[in-house]
Amino acid sequence: MTLASSFTSPASAAGGGVGLSFDWYRILFEDEGFWQSLMYTVGFSVIVTLFALYLSVVLLKCILTLTIKGNGEKLLPWLKWVEFPMLMPYVASAFILGLMLRPYGVVSALGYFAGVVVEPESFPLLVNDSYGIGVILSYVWKTTPFIMVMNLPMMFKVHKTYGNQSRMLELNDGNYFWNIVLPLVRKGLVISACIVFAFVLTAVEIPMFLGVTHPKALGVLALQIFQNGEFVDRPLADAVNVIQMILVAVSMAIGMLLSGRSYDIEG
């Protein structure tokens, strides 16, 4: 439906006729604002995905080390606190990060007590900034536990199977994690990173709340054309949606290629 609507021509949409054309795409591609939105959205999505992936791998390694060395089982209930950002919707996490990072917010106040920040005006602009720092931080905060939780069961299974063997071979923690556990959970990691990328690319709530009016994130752009524009302009929003879908499909394809084969773990 979206595809069909995006390929109608402006004239036929106004006149109610049926026709196939790329006019909406031409209008879109000739608009410089659209290209800026595209670069901005893809930029922060890539940064969020890479950061979240890296941080979740670090957290997974820490959890594994704790399970091996310390009283892992005793500490596991505390891990629920790592999953804390998953307990709230994106809207709420945007709200919270807004409260934390704004010039009059919690971080700035803590900085004041630590003697780093002199007055609210001197605090760097982290929310509604043109680099999208607020958007990136809140998405990283929200998606890192997601990637971690999605891969924890698999990691424990791998550990259950190969933990004793690695101890027998006297592998140190680093070797064990990077050379044995990580390759075995790689598929899950890559796929969950792809999900995060797709989600961040098409999401609306956080960029709407913490982003800037120009450039807009693609999701926000589509929604605003849809809501504010004339009825005949709606195919333009659908064209933006189609471009989002293509981007996501390409990223999923790359993810599938990178993820490699899945391994059978006997556990």
Binding to another protein (CB under 8 A): which residues in 129-168? 149-150, 153-154, 156-157
Q: Using the rule CB under 8 A, is 27 a contact of another protein? A: no
Alpha helix segments (H runs only) across the chain: 2-6, 10-15, 23-30, 32-68, 72-79, 90-101, 106-114, 133-168, 173-175, 182-202, 205-210, 218-228, 234-259
Select from 40, 139, 162, 209 the one that contacts another protein (CB under 8 A): 209
d(CA 68, CA 164) in angstroms, rounded, equals 10
Residue 191 in contact with another protein, rule: CB under 8 A: yes
Q: What is the H or E stretch that residue 88 is in?
A: none
DSSP for 211-257 reads S-SSSPPHHHHHHHHHHHS-GGGHHHHHHHHHHHHHHHHHHHHHHHH
Q: Is 78 in the site for another protein (CB under 8 A)?
A: yes
Q: Name which of 14 and 110 has its Cβ closer to another protein.
A: 110
Q: How far is the CB of 242 from another protein (least distance, A)?
A: 9
Binding status of residue 17 toward another protein by CB under 8 A: no
Distance, in Å, from the CA atom of 69 to the CA atom of 67, rounded to the nearest integer, reads 6
Residues 212 to 231: which contact another protein by CB under 8 A? 219, 222-223, 226
* C-beta closer to another protein: residue 43 or 103: 103
3-state secondary structure of 195: helix
Tokens matching residue 162:
């190969």
Is residue 88 within the footprint of another protein (CB under 8 A)?
Answer: yes
Residue 186 CA: distances (Å) to CA of 155, 192, 242, 251: 10, 10, 30, 16
> Closer CB to another protein, residue 47 or residue 191?
191
* Residues numbered 53-72 forming contacts with another protein, rule: CB under 8 A: 58-59, 61-63, 65-66, 69-70
Q: Which stretch binds another protein (CB under 8 A): 10-18, 46-54, 74-82, 132-140?
A: 74-82
Q: Is residue 250 near another protein by the rule CB under 8 A?
A: no
Tell which one of 42, 46, 109, 171 touches another protein (CB under 8 A).
109
Residue with tokens 């800026």: 36
CB 233, min distance to another protein, A: 14
